[in-house]
Amino acid sequence: MRITARRILPVILGVVAAFLLALVLTVAGYAGAEAVTAGAFWTTLATLMLLMLVLGAILAVLALSLVRLVLRSAKVRKWLRRQIDRFLDYVEKDSQRRQAAKAQVLSARRQETTTRERLEAAERRLLATMDTFRFGHEDRLAALEERLEAVDEHMERQASKAERQRSDGVRHTTTTSRETVRQVESLMQLSGRVDSSHHRLPLSGGFAMNAEGLLWLTDLLQDHQPRKVLEVGSGASTSWMGEFVRRHGGKIVSVDHLEEYAAQTRHEVEARGLGDTVEVRLSPLQPVDIKDQTFQWYGLEAFHDLRDIDLLVVDGPPKSTGENARFPALPVLLDRLAPGCLVVMDDFNRPDERAIVEGWLDQFPQFEPVETFNERIGMIRRVV
């Protein structure tokens, strides 16, 4: 027989009512009695406890029945299964979610790592590029600056060179113009002193004395009227001097070390009809010892017959033949110069010729300087 709630409930209620009745009767018996005996008390207590046990058992059976009922109920089972399924579903989904979340976290971490690595690589590349750019740029900039400075310096040099050339050019042009004017003026004055209608006189300038020098020299010849003139280094000056020396009856010996120029001078002299006044002698250069120095100078035989020279014109040998080439003139010819003799040095504006004249004055106290007012001509005079 199946125990159902409907069947057991009247039994339970009957048992409970019987026990309650017994209990009420017992308590009522106690209330009417004058004294309660120990046996009655223990009987009552035992009854109560038995009642309690029976009630407990009944309640337990009822509870079990209830549970069985509940469990056997299809609806409840269904509901429970649904709940369990839902729970399992929930657990599975939760697990999937967790795994998905975990995968996402891992993926995010991987991405983060990848991104960080990429960023670091990009940063390294950027720094390297910046370094390359910076260094390359600095190098290029420095090279550019250097080149600019070089260009600047070059431009400055060119500008100052151009300025120098310009001012040199202006100075040169000015000097040349002045010089030309001076020479033209000198020639104009010279032309009034000589007659060139019959035959030309040799041209001035170049290796020859310039017109200003010739004008100065003709002044000197007219003023001092030297009777014996010796010239070393012949040329145009020889014929010009011949014209003036002839006027007061003097004589000129002109010595040249080169056949070509000696012949040319001789020809000019003859052409001007100055053969009686001027004698051109050829005397190639030879070594001449003066103190402890050897010079290349004219051979001494060219002067062997010359005495009491009144005017010595030193215009050779040319500078190209040696250092201080003209120095020997005074020491070699000293004994052949008359007291009061004038010694003229052409090209006195050149340092070498100036130094030679100064050397003569130092070594030969019998000579004194004479002012010429011509920068190209130096002159000294024998005072004793």
Ligand X SMILES: C[S@@+](CC[C@H](N)C(=O)[O-])C[C@H]1O[C@@H](n2cnc3c(N)ncnc32)[C@H](O)[C@@H]1O
Which residues, at least 6 apart from 379, have a Cβ–Cβ distance to it below 8 Å?
Answer: 342, 343, 344, 345, 369, 370, 372
Closest CA to 187 of 209, 207, 156: 209
String of b and e for 221-240 (b: at least 16 CB within 10 Å)? beeeebebbbbbbbbbbbbb
Among 235, 250, 328, 378, binds ligand X (CB under 6 A): 235
DSSP string, 288-350: EEETTEEEEEE-GGGGTT--SEEEEEE--S-GGG-TTTTTTHHHHHGGGEEEEEEEEEETTTS
How many other CB atoms are there within 10 angstroms of residue 315's CB atom? Answer: 24
Task: Name which of 130 and 300 has its Cβ closer to ligand X.
Answer: 300
- The verdict on 212 binding ligand X (CB under 6 A) reads no
For residue 366, the minimal CB distance to ligand X (Å) is 25
> Is 209 near ligand X (CB under 6 A)?
yes
- Which of residues 66, 130, 207, 352 is near ligand X by CB under 6 A? 207
Q: Is 89 helix (H, G, I), strand (E, B) or coil?
A: helix
| Nearest to ligand X of 310, 346 (CB atom) | 346
Window contacting ligand X (CB under 6 A); options: 120-128, 158-166, 250-258, 356-364: 250-258
Size of the site for ligand X (CB under 6 A): 15
Q: Is 261 in the site for ligand X (CB under 6 A)?
A: yes
Residue nearer to ligand X on the CB measure, 232 or 337: 232
User: What is the closest distance, in whole angstroms, from the C-beta atom of residue 199 to ligand X in the complex?
Assistant: 17
Give the residue among 286, 203, 281, 294 at the shortest CA–CA distance from 240: 203
Q: Which residues pair with 256 in a beta bridge?
A: 282
- Of 310 and 315, the one with the shorter C-beta distance to ligand X is 315
Interatomic CA distance for residues 323 and 352, integer angstroms: 8
**Position among 187, 245, 258, 312 found at the interface with ligand X (CB under 6 A):** 258
Identify which range of 13-21, 82-90, 310-318, 325-333 contacts ligand X by CB under 6 A: 310-318
Residue 378, interface with ligand X (CB under 6 A)? no
314 strand-pairing partners: 232, 345
CA 235/CA 255 separation, integer angstroms: 10
Query: How far out from the chain centre does Cα 109 lie?
Result: 55
Q: In angstroms, what is the minimal distance from the CB of 210 to ligand X?
A: 9
Q: Which one of residues 315, 341, 343, 382 is an interface residue with ligand X (CB under 6 A)?
A: 315
User: Nearest approach, Cβ of 313 to ligand X (angstroms)?
Assistant: 7
Q: Which of 218, 228, 233, 382 binds ligand X (CB under 6 A)?
A: 233
Report the residue number, 260 or 289, with the smaller CB distance to ligand X.
260
Beta bridge partners of 370: 379
Give the residue, chosen from 212, 243, 256, 353, that forms a contact with ligand X under the rule CB under 6 A: 256
Toward ligand X, which CB reaches closer, 26 or 264?
264
237 near ligand X (CB under 6 A): yes
Q: Would you report the helix, strand and coil content of the chain in percent, each value rounded to 5?
A: 65, 15, 20
Q: Which stretch binds ligand X (CB under 6 A): 157-165, 206-214, 328-336, 337-345?
A: 206-214
Map the footprint of ligand X across residues 316-335, applying CB under 6 A.
316, 318
| Interface contacts to ligand X, rule CB under 6 A | 207-209, 233-237, 256-258, 261, 315-316, 318
